[in-house]
Amino acid sequence: MSEIIESNILKALSTVMEPDLKKDLVSLNMVRNIKITDKHVTFTLVLTTPACPLKDKMEQDCKDAIHSLVDASLDVTVEMTANVTTNRLDKLTLPGVKNIIAVASGKGGVGKSTVSSNLAVALAQRGAKVGLLDADIHGPSVPMMFGVLDQQPLMRNVDGRELMVPIEKFGIKLLSIGFLIKPEQAVVWRGPMVSSALRQFINDTDWGELDYLVLDLPPGTGDIHLTMIQIVPLTGVVMVTTPQAVALADAFKAATMFQMMPTKVPLLGVVENMAWFTPEELPENRYPIFGEGGGKKMAEELHVPFLGELPLFMQIRKGGDTGIPAVLDSENRSRKYLMDIAERVAQQVAIINAQKAALANA
């Protein structure tokens, strides 16, 4: 009896589509562990990322399908878990890392480190294993944003190799060029020294198993970008811009650099930071201090997704200065915006991985 019902459940679930991957949940092998007792059905849905923004929709679609195609009186429980996908074939560099997400911008001061830090924390809060590498030689800010200014990474012997051990904070593995040099020294570091430090971060560091490694790049289109693109197999790039024209022009230049590289790096999309300001005491008012709609327009012109807007919030600045990323505070008005951006980034990574897998199998 239960055999028949299980196959009925599977049949019903095979009518439910994964909205991004445009295939049904059963063909995608996302349905596992169906258990039926009396009037109760439980199964596990294995998502492509724990930060999936469509979780609730998929859960509802599954329940609706079972109720309409099997039995309307069944009590259905969908348990969610995730197995983060990857499209990496070569495992020579960063062998345990499934996805590497670079955060880039044309100009400095547009919120790249703010977005990188909160993206990393948000993904970890959703249950992913996350690392954050701050490669911004001109203004490393991860040590400050995570309150680990005085820490120094240790070395550890792993299978006969001396590897650097990232600093851990809020469940995230951190490395920053700022751990190795004092801010006032940064300017005198020559290109080759920077490159060799970055190579050590990539090749001689014990990152372990990570679902996502977030890379906070310096602004612009300089040497460090070329080094990073050459040595790191990037999954994709998130562009951060403010809505104003000057920042956009620079962001465009940076975006085209990634697209013109021989190893074309996909753009995951555009985040518009400092989109507007809303004073706490006037929550209905929005002041577009740096202009309006620039990020969306840029995403349209580049034919890439718009990953969301982030308003100016005092708490975001404070979080950055006090070493506690704003997304950690559930009372914080900015949290929802930061979480939404992180979920859209994770969603785009899953889509790119599925597209690459489809190409490889074609």
Ligand X SMILES: Nc1ncnc2c1ncn2[C@@H]1O[C@H](COP(=O)(O)OP(=O)(O)O)[C@@H](O)[C@H]1O
- Binders in 273-302 for ligand X, by CB under 6 A: 273-274
Per-residue x/- track, 111-130, Mg ion (CB under 5 A): -xx-----------------
- With CB under 6 A as the contact rule, the residue among 320, 341, 344, 345 that binds ligand X is 320
Cα–Cα distance, 206 to 294 (Å, whole number): 40
Give 251 or 354: the residue with its C-beta nearer to Mg ion: 251
Closest contact distance (angstroms) between CB of 111 and ligand X is: 3
Residue number of the CB closest to Mg ion reads 113
Closest contact distance (angstroms) between CB of 276 and Mg ion is: 22
- Binders in 133-192 for ligand X, by CB under 6 A: 139, 141
CA proximity to 360, closest of 91, 95, 88: 88
Cα–Cα distance, 47 to 53 (Å, whole number): 11
313 near ligand X, judged by CB under 6 A: yes
Give 111 or 153: the residue with its C-beta nearer to Mg ion: 111
Cα–Cα distance, 220 to 262 (Å, whole number): 19
Closest contact distance (angstroms) between CB of 103 and ligand X is: 8
Q: Tokens 């190893």 correspond to what residue?
A: 263
310 near ligand X, judged by CB under 6 A: yes
**H helix intervals, 135-293:** 142-145, 191-203, 223-231, 245-260
36 CB-near residues (< 8 Å, 6+ apart)? 2, 5, 6, 9, 42
Among the residue ranges 53-61, 85-93, 102-110, 186-194, the one whose residues contact ligand X (CB under 6 A) = 102-110
Cα–Cα distance, 177 to 189 (Å, whole number): 11
Judged by beta carbon distances under 5 to 8 A according to partner kind, the member of Mg ion, ligand X, none in contact with residue 110 is ligand X
CA proximity to 73, closest of 83, 88, 63, 82: 63
323 near ligand X, judged by CB under 6 A: no
Among the residue ranges 131-139, 145-153, 233-241, 290-298, the one whose residues contact Mg ion (CB under 5 A) = 131-139
316 near ligand X, judged by CB under 6 A: yes
Among the residue ranges 6-14, 81-89, 178-186, 311-319, the one whose residues contact ligand X (CB under 6 A) = 311-319
Q: Which two tokens stand for residue 119?
A: 């993206």
Q: Tokens 């997400």 correspond to what residue?
A: 101
Give 113 or 227: the residue with its C-beta nearer to Mg ion: 113
259 touches 221 (CB < 8 A):
no
120 touches 167 (CB < 8 A):
no
109 near ligand X, judged by CB under 6 A: yes
Cα–Cα distance, 98 to 349 (Å, whole number): 10
241 near Mg ion, judged by CB under 5 A: no
CA proximity to 42, closest of 19, 54, 28, 59: 59
Q: Which residues bind ligand X (CB under 6 A)?
A: 105, 108-114, 139, 141, 273-274, 310, 312-313, 316-317, 320
Q: Which residues bind Mg ion (CB under 5 A)?
A: 112-113, 136, 141
